[in-house]
Each structure stands twice: as C-alpha cells, then as structure tokens.
Structure 1
Amino acid sequence: MYLPKVSIVTPCFNASEFIEETIKSVQSQTYNNWELIIVDDNSSDNSTILINNLKKTDNRIKLIELNNNVGPAKARNIAMENAEGKYIAFLDSDDLWLPSKLERQIEIMEKHDLILTFSNYRIIEENGELTSKVIKVPEKINYAQLLGNTIIGCLTVVFNREKTGDVRMPEFRDCPEDSALWLSILRSGSEAVGIQEELALYRKTKGSLSRNKIKAARKTWNMYRKLEKLNVIKSSFCFLNYSYNAMKKL
C-alpha cells in the first residue's frame, strides 16, 4: 500500500523540558512514513543533546542546528526548504500528537484530494495534565472566513505541497505567521477541511501566545494591514469577527 511521506516541521528553542515527549508522540504514530525535521534555533539549554540521543536510534529524525536565533517562522521555513515529503505537517516542540493523527489525516486527504486539513485539539496544562477544553473546528473554512478566525491550530495542520508549491511563512515577527501562511494557501479560492476528531494536544505554557491576548490581537491587526493589505474598514470588520471568535475559544 502506497504511503506518501509526511515532513514534520518542528522549530525548537530551549525546549529541553518537553522536546523528548514531543518526539516520542511522533514516534508513536500509527503512520510510519514520516521525517521529523527539527530546527534548533540556537538553544542555550541541552535540547540538542536530547534530540541527538533519540536521533541515534531513529533515522527519520533530522536535526538542523542554527548558529543564530532567527525566530520560529524562519526556523519553520528552513525545515520546509529541507523537506522531502508530499505533505507538510507542523508540531511545535512542546505540543503532542495522538497516535492516530497522521494516519487519519493522510487517509482523508488522499481519499478526497485535499489541499489543507486541520482538526480538533485539546488544551493541556504546562505539566501535561489534560483539561476539559477541546477546540472544535468547522467542517470547512475559506479565505474570507479565516480572516476573522483563529480556529486553525498550527499543531493540527497538514498541507499538500504538490498542490501549494513551495510556500513560506512570512518572516515578520509581529504577526501570526502561521495564520498568514494558511491565508496565503487559501487565497486562491481553496477551502481548508476541518476533521471533527481530537488528534493533538496543545500545551498552554506561560510563554504561549494564547495567554497574551493583547499581543495576539496586535499581531492579528498587523497581519491585516501589513501582509493582507486590507484597508482600515475591512481590517476593522475582520478584527471584530476575530475578537468574537477568540472569545468563544476561551
């Protein structure tokens, strides 16, 4: 049975507390044809030592070590430039996947010839304790709808690079670079498909953007004005929708 390769993009910066658990959640996947490309963004802790220890026994794990800190967007772009897979998936260095994540998503994408999918995910505490909060996603979302929504969790996204071509995250630190990438993929009229299953666990750490609502709001406004080039009226309309949908996620 043909199993297309999935390239998993993981930026890493001082993630020694969580990176082993994150990698093991990939190794526990029921879908085996993957490569995990970890780009270490000049960590000062022992993240790379832990990664290399796991890498010794699994040649699907690849580590790229940077000499300067470049930020998560550029780190992800470097990983994508080195990716070999038909599909690109994202997993940050403190988040986790459930074992059937890739198998379910690739099965659906291959069957229906989809460009981008995402799924429900559960919030976990910093110590890994499960919460009752599950982010549930719509069945589909298009460019216009996504402008006013943050429902697509980066840790759940898989896209088909044969359909998107070589896309990149904008390396503009004061914007939500992941949302900007999804918008760039959907701008041509495609729809992203939401899988109504809980496939990943998002760790809410002290430094996570979701905890800093003011910072997240500013970045979203900058995306409208500086990246999407929307006028003030359109930006304000989208921002009201964004604020409403963000409140629903709390």
Structure 2
Amino acid sequence: MTTPTVTVVIPTIGRPDLRRALDSVRAQTVLGISIVVVLDRPDEQKAVESMLDGRDRLVVTDGAQGGAVARNLGIDSAATDYVAFLDDDDWWEPEKLQQQFELLDVTGGSVCFTAVKFHDGEQTTILPKEAFDPDRESLASYLVRRPGLRHGHGYLQSSTILVDRDHAERVRWDPSMAKHQDWDFVVRLLDGVDVQFCGAPLVHVQKDSAASVSRTRNWRASKQWLDQHGSKLDPHAYGDFVCSQVLRSALATMDRRGITEAARLTRHTRPSAASMVVGLSGTADYLRNRGRNV
C-alpha cells in the first residue's frame, strides 16, 4: 500500500493545549503529513508561532470568525489526497492515521472516522456506545438519538474524521450554523458516500470548556439545525433532539417562545424518557446560572 498524503487542519484560538495536539500529529506512524494551523485570534500569533516548526503552515484570520471558517481555510490550504481535522484541545494516538488509511485501502471508501476516549475530569469513556449502522437508521438519527441520560450512544466528532480532500472541498463547513456545526457537516459529508468506522479509540476528546460554543444555550440555533436536517430524522430521533436540545436551551434561559416552540415540535414525535429528563434539566441550568448572577 502506498500511503496517501494528508493535511491536518487544526483551528485554534491559541490555547496552550495546541502544543499537545501538534505533538500527537508529529508522532503519527505515517509519512506525508502536512499541518495547517488556523489561528482565529490574531493577538495570539507570536505564542502560536513558537509552537510550530518550519514544516507547519500558519493561517491567521481577522479574528472571531469561528470554527467553520477556520476549517474551510484549512481545506483551501490543502494540496494533499486527504484532509483530517483536529481540535486544538484534542489529541491522537500515534497510529490513528495509519489505521484509517489501511481501512480505506481495503474498502475503497472516501471517509473514515474512529471511536474516541472522552475525557470528563477524572472519568474517561469510550464513545460511541453503539456503532453506526446505515441499514438501520440515517446518520442524522444516529447522532441525535438519546436513549440514555448520558450522551454518546451515537457519536461522531470532528477530530476523528479523515476525508478525501476533493469531497471535503465540495461539502465544506457551514459558517451560518451557530450551533451543531459538527453534526451539520458530517450529515452532509456522509450523504451518499461510503463511510468506514474504525472501532479503536484512537482520538482523545476533552469535554467542552465552559466557554465552548457547543455549550451555549441557544434554542434558535438548535432549531436552525432541525430546519435543515429534520426531514432525515425518524420520529424517535426528532423528538429526542427537540427535548434534549431545543427544550433544554429554552428552559435554561426561560425563553417562553422557545418553550412553546419545543412543545409544538414534539407533537406527533416519540421522544425517549431519557431525552425528556435531559430537556427538563434546562430548568436546573437556569436556576444554577441565576444563583451565580445573584
């Protein structure tokens, strides 16, 4: 097997964890790797440059452009067979790319993702808890179904993705998505293409920080994703998404319009009991945030 070339796109705001991410790419057991770091906070340029070597490329945005714009700039900078993405606070096992290339070489697929070790404080969990089966459900339903209280039953994260560069250029990340950008990208990315799943947990994912966009309670942003992809969801997954995302966000901010909209959207759906509990936990989020502001 001739090892393909790959560009690893790392969007960053200049966090110190970037060094660990870079080291994990440099430790990969395959050759032909290019690194493109896209910095979305220009005032951190000197700090980031100190972490790079002469082989790495640095792209600096005008600032506060967001992860989708940063990843698209990385794709545009690539001149390799494949593109892989790595968040600046995540890191890879040394054989991550090698195992993905070997799997794609055998199957002839154009996209491959892996399981992860999800780190939440002192606790580490291997995700996903269930592999994606395209014969049973759509990818969109797989990602948002909530059969249990804890997330990760279905799971696909950006730092696991290896994709043919031409395909990534056609699909691209959507900067207009205020939330769920990963879910939006992968649902469109895997539409009609052969995808391979490597069950080995070759990627380490840090739980979102308190300032993470994905933790922002914004029911309208979740509704935007639903408007885009709701037709791909079965009634169970549709109800689960409304409860765990739209309702929870609306309750966390006590937005009456959002609560009313969530009630409307759940009609004729079949949310799980777990997703309803998660949705109602938005009330606890509201009380907790209110206590901090008193």
Normalising by the smaller structure, the TM-score range is 0.7 to 0.9
Aligned to 1:166: 170
TM-score by length of 2: 0.69
Q: 2:95 is matched by which residue type in structure 1? A: S
Structure 1 residue 37, shift from structure 2 partner? 0.8
1:185-234 CA-to-partner distances (Å, cap 9, x unmatched) read: 222x2243221101010011333456x3844x754431120x34749xx6
Aligned to 1:149: 142
Q: 1:197 is matched by which residue type in structure 2? A: A
Aligned to 1:3: 3
Q: 2:174 is matched by which residue type in structure 1? A: P
Contact 1:148/1:240, CA 8 A, preserved across alignment: no
Aligned to 1:185: 189
Aligned to 1:198: 201
Structure 1 residue 146, shift from structure 2 partner? 1.7
Q: Say which structure, 1 or 2, has more relative contact order (CA 8 Å, 6+ apart).
A: 1
Structure 1 residue 118, shift from structure 2 partner? 1.0
Contact 2:83/2:162, CA 8 A, preserved across alignment: yes
Question: Which has the larger share of strand?
Answer: 1
Instruction: State how 1:117-132 maps to structure 2 within 5 Å.
Output: 117-125=112-120, 131-132=123-124
Q: 2:141 is matched by which residue type in structure 1? A: G
1:152-211 CA-to-partner distances (Å, cap 9, x unmatched) read: 111101112345653211111423222212121222x2243221101010011333456x
1:22-63 CA-to-partner distances (Å, cap 9, x unmatched) read: 11111111112111111101243x4x334323433x41x111
1:84-136 CA-to-partner distances (Å, cap 9, x unmatched) read: 1211111011111111101101111122111211111012246xx6x331112
Cα distance in structure 2, aligned partners of 1:90 and 1:143: 28
Alignment counterpart, residue 77 of structure 1, candidates 72, 75, 78: 72
Instruction: State how 1:11-160 maps to structure 2 within 5 Å.
Output: 11-15=11-15, 17-44=16-43, 46=44, 48-56=45-53, 58-59=54-55, 61-125=56-120, 131-136=123-128, 137-138=130-131, 140-141=133-134, 145-150=138-143, 151-160=155-164
Q: 2:139 is matched by which residue type in structure 1? A: L
Instruction: Give me the CA root mean square deviation.
Output: 3.0
Cα distance in structure 2, aligned partners of 1:92 and 1:124: 14
Q: Which range moved further: 94-103 or 64-73?
A: 64-73
User: Taking every aligned residue pair, what percent have the same amino acid on both sides?
Assistant: 21
SS of aligned partner of 1:196: strand
Instruction: State how 1:225-240 maps to structure 2 within 5 Å.
Output: 225=227, 227-228=228-229, 230=231, 238-240=237-239
Q: 1:147 is matched by which residue type in structure 2? A: A
Choose 1 or 2 for highest CA Rg.
2
Cα distance in structure 1, aligned partners of 2:206 and 2:78: 25
Identify if the C-alpha distance between structure 1 residues 11 and 73 changes in structure 2 by more than 3 Å, giving closer, same or farther.
same
TM-score by length of 1: 0.80
Counterpart check, 1:207 vs 2:211:
yes
Cα distance in structure 1, aligned partners of 2:223 and 2:107: 34
Cα distance in structure 1, aligned partners of 2:124 and 2:224: 32
Structure 2: gaps spanning 5 or more residues: 144-154, 245-271, 279-294
Structure 1 residue 74, shift from structure 2 partner? 0.6
Q: Which range moved further: 146-155 or 201-210?
A: 201-210
Q: 1:99 is matched by which residue type in structure 2? A: P
Structure 1: gaps spanning 5 or more residues: none
SS of aligned partner of 1:148: helix
